[in-house]
Amino acid sequence: RLPQEVEEGYLGSGSRGKVVWLDPDEPDVVFDELLDLNDRNLSRLAAILQPFSEDALGTCIEERTPALVSLTLLEEEEDDYPYPMADDKTLGDFLGTWRRGLVRVVHFMGPAACDVMLEGRGGAKCSGLPDRRDSVGIQAGPNTILLFRPDCYAYSCATESEALTIMASLLSAPPQFSLSGWDGDTELLNAVAGGPPPPSWPEHINVMNCNTRLGASWDEPAMMHAGLVGGCDTVAEIPFSRFDVNFYFCAEPDEIQFGPPRTIQRHTSFVDAVDLFDNKYFEISSAEAGAMDPLQRQVLEVGGACLFQQGISKKVSNRQAHHAGCSVGLDKADFSTMGIDAGPSAGNNALAIVANRFSFTFNLKGANFICDTACSASLTATHLAKLMLLERTWDPLDFHIAIGTHLCLSPGPWIGCSMSHMVSPEGRCFSFNSSAAGYLRGEGTSGQFLKF
């Protein structure tokens, strides 16, 4: 079956099918005498149209795609043919066909007839067609061959029983790019230090997307970028919803060593609504969700967003497992020190479960683990993810989700960091500045979808 992102683009609106490509370059291509005959007929049609394509289409037909054979997927077969994951090649081939497609040829081979509808797209190209119609409907019986322009008409095909089709797209020439010159001052390019050479293939790892849950609702990378460019920060006073900072605050850093345990810092960067969680999306019961460490919720939300942007929703992951890994960098477990009765958890909130639960929820079968290397935990989790993706011999992964997370739920770490004079009394880091007097604790969760 074709991936969900491209199925209707190839087969038509509302169409579902069991498919195979008749690509002669593939070593395990299916050979059938009748299919091969009809495939060669598609090439003959392309050869007949080619001399007239410049006048009729405005550009010349240069080549055709491999034939796509499709057999109607019946409703009762849906569970047996889940959507596969769309890889880069599939999406790239579809995009190239969509951009360069001049004519679509569909040969209906039966046995059932198909109800075909062509809906005009409008625009300048359509208005120039001779005998133009806004919509065309036909019943395509066995051995009907349909040719249409995909840039002028949207194609849909419906049938209530099995029908076999073989189709191909006739394409224009691929675009050719060349650098003819440039403007501007190029001296800056010469002034930049060369640095080490980039890693050689196959050491490259692709970052397919990234997602964030940060303070000030910087919940998208673009929002974080805009905030940093604008010179903003997300620092606020510790809210009462976490704890009463006035009870623990000491205004004089030199007196922190005397008296009860206190903190010299009353500001930080907080993620909003860490107590809220859409447990139904992740198919987690309300009772279990209430006892979960908020770190687990943040990891599920951010990592789930990374998967969703690649076409893997919770329902998709239920139908199809992926041999993929998950690594989470963290170094605090404040939730267990807050005195909240989480009920009989049986290790439910052990740190290892943060990554375990994510893999279990989204049906990922590769290795999952946490990294606790203090401030470098997220970097270490991402680096180990890279090493695992580069290993393509013994355990090649489909992809890897690398996440870093941190929440400030308890006053304990503030007190400890203040007693050791690690944090800034001003509530700011002032990095690379002579006025720097310590660091600022903060919250956030970021995740990346990594792929070889």
Q: What six digits make up the tokens of 63?
A: 């080549």
Flag whether 406 is in a domain.
yes
Flag whether 188 is in a domain.
no
* Residue 280 sits in the same domain as residue 316: yes
Least confident of 122-131, 196-205, 292-301, 435-444: 122-131
Flag whether 275 is in a domain.
yes
Supply the pLDDT for residue 408: 87
- Is 364 a residue whose pLDDT tops 80? yes
* Residue 205 sits in the same domain as residue 301: yes
- Please tell me the distance from the alpha carbon of residue 187 to that of residue 196, in angstroms, as a whole number: 20
**Residue 271, phi-psi category: left (phi > 0), alpha (psi -120 to 50), beta (remainder):** beta
- Is 322 a residue whose pLDDT tops 60? yes
> Best-predicted range by mean pLDDT among 2-6, 367-371, 426-430?
367-371
Q: Of 156, 172, 188, which residue is a domain's last?
A: 172
CATH number, domain of 91, equals 2.60.120
Over residues 401-428, the pLDDT tens digits come to 999 999 988 888 888 888 888 888 888 8
Helix H segments across 325-442? 351-361, 377-390, 412-419
* Residue 83 sits in the same domain as residue 28: yes
- Is 45 a residue whose pLDDT tops 80? yes
Residues above pLDDT 70, as percent of the chain: 93
CATH number, domain of 435, equals 3.40.47.10
* Residue 377 sits in the same domain as residue 245: yes
Structural domains in the chain (count)? 2
Supply the pLDDT for residue 48: 92
For residues 328-335, give the mean pLDDT: 86
Flag whether 95 is in a domain.
yes
- Please tell me the distance from the alpha carbon of residue 36 to that of residue 350, in angstroms, as a whole number: 59
* Residue 426 sits in the same domain as residue 298: yes
Q: Which domain holds residue 69?
A: 6-172
* Residue 276 sits in the same domain as residue 369: yes
For residues 123-144, give the mean pLDDT: 79
Supply the pLDDT for residue 180: 79
**Considering the chain, what is the average pLDDT of its residues?**
86
* Residue 242 sits in the same domain as residue 363: yes
Q: What six digits make up the tokens of 132?
A: 């133009």
Asked whether the CA dihedral 380, 386, 392, 395 is positive or negative, the reply is: positive
- Is 397 a residue whose pLDDT tops 60? yes
419, 411 Cβ separation under 8 angstroms: no
Supply the pLDDT for residue 178: 79
Instruction: Enumerate the β-bridge partners of residue 154.
Output: 119
Residues above pLDDT 90, as percent of the chain: 33
CA 317 to centroid of chain Cα atoms? 13
**Residue closest to 362 by CA, chosen among 302, 321, 329:** 321
- Please tell me the distance from the alpha carbon of residue 293 to that of residue 275, in angstroms, as a whole number: 10
pLDDT category at 91 given cuts 50, 70, 90 is confident
Over residues 242-288, the pLDDT tens digits come to 888 888 888 887 777 777 888 888 888 889 888 889 999 999 988 88
* Residue 326 sits in the same domain as residue 438: yes
Supply the pLDDT for residue 272: 86
Supply the pLDDT for residue 127: 64
Supply the pLDDT for residue 170: 92
Supply the pLDDT for residue 354: 92
Flag whether 190 is in a domain.
no
* Residue 168 sits in the same domain as residue 273: no
Supply the pLDDT for residue 104: 93
**Residue closest to 213 by CA, chosen among 305, 328, 284:** 305
* Residue 152 sits in the same domain as residue 272: no
Supply the pLDDT for residue 188: 62
For residues 376-395, give the mean pLDDT: 92
* Residue 222 sits in the same domain as residue 78: no
Flag whether 185 is in a domain.
no
Flag whether 432 is in a domain.
yes
* Residue 25 sits in the same domain as residue 67: yes
Q: Of 130, 152, 172, which residue is a domain's last?
A: 172
